[in-house]
Amino acid sequence: MYRRILLAYDGSESGQKALLDCQDLAQWSQSELTLVAVMPLHMDLMGMGGGVYDPQLMEQEKAALQDVLDDGLQRLQAAGHKATGTVLVGEVVDEITKHARLISADLIVVGHRHLDSWAARWWRGSISKVLIEHAPCSVLVAIIR
């Protein structure tokens, strides 16, 4: 079945749902779990202030993502799972798919929240939709409404 599961985790409500689904699936299939949190490339190049590269801000953002990732890892470990994790920097879908290939993942799990307005859907886009197109393995999308 699924021996290696990669969870793209951001700590959001949909990410929490994906973590629970991933945990249940891993329990059932006795899978290795890997969590990744991706700091988008635009934050790396510009920082939150816009237009100016700020290495200190980048490190703060990376540390905040590491805290989110550590929280997810602690939840999995408290439930008896062996899990590893890493913070990646770059284009979200590219980094997730590269890491999935690196660990030979059989399944990628990602959370998704339905957006109400057409403007929100257009502006934000759908990482899960693009991920499905580029993934080297199956993708489970945990949906929150």
Strand pairing report for 32-40 and 83-90: parallel
CATH number, domain of 13, equals 3.40.50.620
pTM: 0.81
Regarding predicted confidence, which is higher, 93 or 112? 93
- Is 113 exposed, middle or buried, given 0-12, 13-18 or 19+ CB atoms closer than 10 A? middle
Residues in contact with 74: Cβ distance below 8 Å, sequence separation at least 6, in sequence order? none
CA dihedral (82, 87, 90, 94) in degrees, to 10, reads 0
Is the pLDDT assigned to residue 47 strictly greater than 70? no
CA distance 132 to 28: 23
How confident is the model over 97-136, as pLDDT tens digits?
Answer: 999 999 999 999 988 765 554 444 444 556 778 899 999 9
Per-residue confidence (pLDDT) for residue 57, from 0 to 100: 83
C-alpha span between 45 and 120 (Å, rounded): 24
Domain membership of residue 80 as a residue range? 4-144
pLDDT tens by residue, 71-82: 999 988 998 888
Structural domains of the chain, count: 1
Specify the long-range contacts of residues 21-26, CB closer than 8 Å, at least 24 apart: 21/109, 21/140, 21/142, 22/109, 22/140, 22/142, 23/75, 23/76, 23/79, 23/81, 25/107, 25/109, 25/140, 26/2, 26/76, 26/81
